[in-house]
């Protein structure tokens, strides 16, 4: 597996990371812990050095799984986790945002214990907190870096203005946001800023929450614990309309003797050398398929052809329900 540097930070990771959320949370029933540990270790054996988790995934349990799985590999892997959510007093669900400095310090101490590490390699603000100035949040992370509890600072779903303000206080190593052939908005909104400032980009849902695998269609039934069940873009009618994109990528994949997922990941890797996608999976076969995307090289002409094909398709449905959409920073 080739390595990539996240911007100008000096943080080097495998070209593809592993998003661990779905092993415990958000995409159906949680994977049995022993199986999840085995999958993460299989990723390490295949060259993956970059693993993504968060306090809220579970909550808590995903960090525990990642911590146990990666305990034998300390020093040779990079672990990213996130702060920024807490239970909502109204219903107890983890939908309230909190990036106050005292809260960040508490979360970091707890995450370190669950992850069984002394320093968090990359700490993201999970969502921008409109009630806490980003300068205060960045300052708190800066203090944690100086204390040796954190190495690098990241943001998630932050807009260009917020990124700039945070970067003045504590250099931002990476932005994690959704980006794929299924959601190309970051090309206009944040990527020019990232390139200017030397910040890496870590796309989550690089396979369009599974849609770009080609295995989801209008007849797919989502489990009640699967987040996609409430995502407008994944309604039955929208899935039927959006299949046009999958069909376009599939035709391209057939020409390259690859899968649609591999083409989708190779496209991201071809866009910029500071982009590191983090596809997630619960299956070893899918892990191996995804890693094959890192070995697939697309030419500039290939990239243009894919983008022309995707731009010609009007995708249907918002990528988040309204309750989540309001948490996106602009």
Q: Is 124 a catalytic residue?
A: no
Side-chain-facing half-sphere of 191: CA atoms under 13 Å: 16
Beta bridge partner(s), residue 177: 203
Question: Are the beta carbons of 29 and 319 closer than 8 angstroms?
Answer: no
Neighbours of 90 (CB within 10 A): 8
User: What are the strands, taking DSSP E only, across 206-278?
Assistant: none
Whether omega before 153 lies within 30 degrees of 0, making that bond cis, reads no
CA 13 to chain CA centroid, Å, is 14
Question: Are the beta carbons of 291 and 48 closer than 8 angstroms?
Answer: yes
CA distance 176 to 293: 20
Distance separating the N- and C-terminal Cα atoms of the chain: 35
Question: Are the beta carbons of 79 and 112 closer than 8 angstroms?
Answer: no
Task: Classify residue 174 by burial, with Cβ atoms within 10 Å: 0-12, 13-18, 19+.
Answer: buried
Residues 6+ apart with CB under 8 A from 242: 182, 211, 233, 313, 315, 316, 317
Query: Of the listed 57, 124, 179, 320, which one is catalytic?
Result: 57
> In Å, how far are 28, 90, 169, 178, 203 from 272, measured between CA atoms?
32, 43, 26, 15, 12
**301 — phi, psi (to 5°)?**
-70, -40
Query: Residues with catalytic annotation?
Result: 57
């Amino acid at each position: 597996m080739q390595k990539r540097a996240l911007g100008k930070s000096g943080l080097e990771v495998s070209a593809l990371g592993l998003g661990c959320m779905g092993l415990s949370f958000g995409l159906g029933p949680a994977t049995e812990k022993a199986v999840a540990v085995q999958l993460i270790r299989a990723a390490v054996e295949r060259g993956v050095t970059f693993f993504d988790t968060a306090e809220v995934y579970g909550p808590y349990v995903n960090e525990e799984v990642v911590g146990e799985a990666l305990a034998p590999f300390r020093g040779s892997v990079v672990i990213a986790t996130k702060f920024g959510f807490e239970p909502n007093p109204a219903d107890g669900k983890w939908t309230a945002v909190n990036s106050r400095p005292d809260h960040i310090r508490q979360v970091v101490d707890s995450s370190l214990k669950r992850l069984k590490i002394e320093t968090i390699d990359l700490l993201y603000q999970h969502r921008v907190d409109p009630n806490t100035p980003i300068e205060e949040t960045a300052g708190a992370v800066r203090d944690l870096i100086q204390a040796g509890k954190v190495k690098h600072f990241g943001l998630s779903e932050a807009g260009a203005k917020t990124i700039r303000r945070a970067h003045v206080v504590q250099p931002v190593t990476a932005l994690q946001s959704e980006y794929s052939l299924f959601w190309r908005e970051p090309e206009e909104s944040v990527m020019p800023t990232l390139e200017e400032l030397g910040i890496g980009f870590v796309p989550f849902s690089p396979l369009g929450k599974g849609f770009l695998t080609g295995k989801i269609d209008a007849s797919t039934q989502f489990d009640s614990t699967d987040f996609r069940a409430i995502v407008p873009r994944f309604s039955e009618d929208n899935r039927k309309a959006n299949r046009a994109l999958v069909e376009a990528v599939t035709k391209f994949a057939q020409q390259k003797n690859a899968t649609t997922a591999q083409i989708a990941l190779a496209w991201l890797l071809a866009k910029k050398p500071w982009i590191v996608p983090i596809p997630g999976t619960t299956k070893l076969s899918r892990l191996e398929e995804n890693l094959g995307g890192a070995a697939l090289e697309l030419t500039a002409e290939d990239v243009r052809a894919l983008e022309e094909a995707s731009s010609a398709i009007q995708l249907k449905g918002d990528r988040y329900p309204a309750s989540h959409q309001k948490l996106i920073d602009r």
